[in-house]
Structure 1
């Protein structure tokens, strides 16, 4: 299996593990009354499943982005973007054309 695919699968696993912990913590601490709403409803499991999946997608994406950015090599390449050298404007020519 390619290295990047393994990295992605590992990042997804870590992201969904973090999502499970975060969702459980959110329900246990009853932040903004979410725990009470979920436990008081007969379809609260749908809300928990959606929180788990959406947090999993979010945390997986952030985990993968951080890992990819950490793979950058610090070489002698360009720094500070691709700067283009601008030539000075010829304002006298434009001003002389306006006077005529």
Structure 2
């Protein structure tokens, strides 16, 4: 299996694992009365599965993004490019004349 696919699958699994822990903590601490929703209602299991799925997508994406950003090569200094030229900027006066309007004529 290619390294990138393995990296993706690993980080998605970590993200969904974090989502399961997060939803379990939400239910355990009864945040926003979720314990009653999940444990006492008929379709509470569906609410729990939806929370795990949606939080899993977010956490998996964030976990994979962090893993990709950590792969940057920090050992090499930046190279290439030319230094920007510094020029002396001189302010120039610009006048703008507004055309005269006749009284009683509305603007367009």
**What residue ranges of structure 2 are gaps of 5+ in the alignment?**
96-108
The size of the alignment, in residue pairs, is 91
Q: Which is higher, the Rg of structure 1 or of structure 2?
A: 2
**What residue ranges of structure 1 are gaps of 5+ in the alignment?**
none
User: Counterparts of 2:60 and 2:84 in 1: how far apart (Å)?
Assistant: 37
CA RMSD of aligned residues (A): 2.1
More helix by share: 1
User: Counterparts of 1:23 and 1:56 in 2: how far apart (Å)?
Assistant: 10
User: Counterparts of 2:63 and 2:8 in 1: how far apart (Å)?
Assistant: 9
The structure whose RCO (Cα within 8 Å, separation 6+) is larger is: 1
Partner in structure 1 of residue 17 of structure 2: 17
Instruction: Provide the TM-score with structure 2 as the length reference.
Output: 0.72
Instruction: Provide the TM-score with structure 1 as the length reference.
Output: 0.77
User: Counterparts of 2:62 and 2:10 in 1: how far apart (Å)?
Assistant: 13
The alpha carbon displacement at 1:84 in A equals: 4.9
The question of 1:76 aligning with 2:57 is answered: no
User: Counterparts of 1:46 and 1:86 in 2: how far apart (Å)?
Assistant: 63
Partner in structure 2 of residue 53 of structure 1: 53
The alpha carbon displacement at 1:15 in A equals: 0.6
